[in-house]
Amino acid sequence: MNCADLKRWLNEGMPRGSERDVGEHAERCPGCAASLHAQLEIDALLRGEGRGRVEAPPRFVDRVMAEVLAADRSAPRIELWPALPALPWWAQAAADPATVLACVLVALLAWRIDWLGDLARLAGNLGSRYVTQPLGQTWSTMGLDRPAVTLGFELIAIPALAWGSLVLYRWTERILRRSTRA
C-alpha cells in the first residue's frame, strides 16, 4: 500500500479487509500515520466514545434566536430622512445605483432597440479605426479587413460591453459597502 491508496481507503470510509496493510504503511510513513490517527479520532468523537453527552447551556436556543433577530434588525438600511422608517430589502435593491443604471439602460434599449445595433456598429468602427488603420498593410495581408471580420469585431463588442457593465456593477457595489461601513 502507498500514500495514495491509504488516502483513498480513508476517503472510502475505511472499508474492512485492508486494516493490516494500512497499519504496516502507517508505521513506515509519518504523514499517513497522522492522517489515520486523525480519522480514527474523528470517528471516535462522532460515535461519542470517550465523552459523555454534552448538554446545551440553559436558554441556549432563546439566546441564539435573539441574536439572529438582532442581527437582522442591525443590517444596514437606507434612510431617506430620519422621520421615515428604514426601507425594506427590495426598496434598497431598487435604490442601488447599479440597479437604477441597469433599469435605465434596459428601458432605453426596449424603447429604441435599434440603438443596440448602432452601439455594436460604433464599437466595431472604433475597433476598426484604432486597430485596423495602425496595422495597415499587415492587416490586409492577414485578411482582417473583410466585412465578416468587422462583423466579428462588432459581435465581440457586445460581450465586452456586458463584461464592462459587470465590472461597473461590482465597483459600485464595493463603493456602497464601504459607505455603509463608515
Residues 110 and 38 in one domain: no
Task: Tell me, yes or no, whether 26 lies in a domain.
Answer: yes
CA 182/CA 177 separation, integer angstroms? 9
What is the pTM for the complete model shown?
Answer: 0.30
Residues in the chain, total? 182
b/e per residue 18-45 (b: at least 16 CB within 10 A): eeeebeebbeebeebbebbeebeeeeee
Does residue 155 sit within a domain? Answer: yes
- Residue 153 identity: F
Whether 25 maps to a domain, the answer reads: yes
Residue written as cell 463584461? 163
Count: domains in the chain: 2
In a domain, 77, yes or no: no
Domain, as residue range, for 22: 3-47
Q: Are residues 167 and 100 in the same domain?
A: yes
In this structure, are 43 and 102 located in the same domain? no
Residue type, 11: N
pLDDT string in tens for the chain (182-residue length): 788 888 888 888 777 888 888 888 889 999 989 988 988 888 888 777 666 667 788 898 899 888 888 776 655 555 555 555 566 767 777 777 878 888 888 888 788 888 778 888 888 788 777 766 676 667 677 777 788 887 888 888 888 988 988 888 888 888 877 777 65
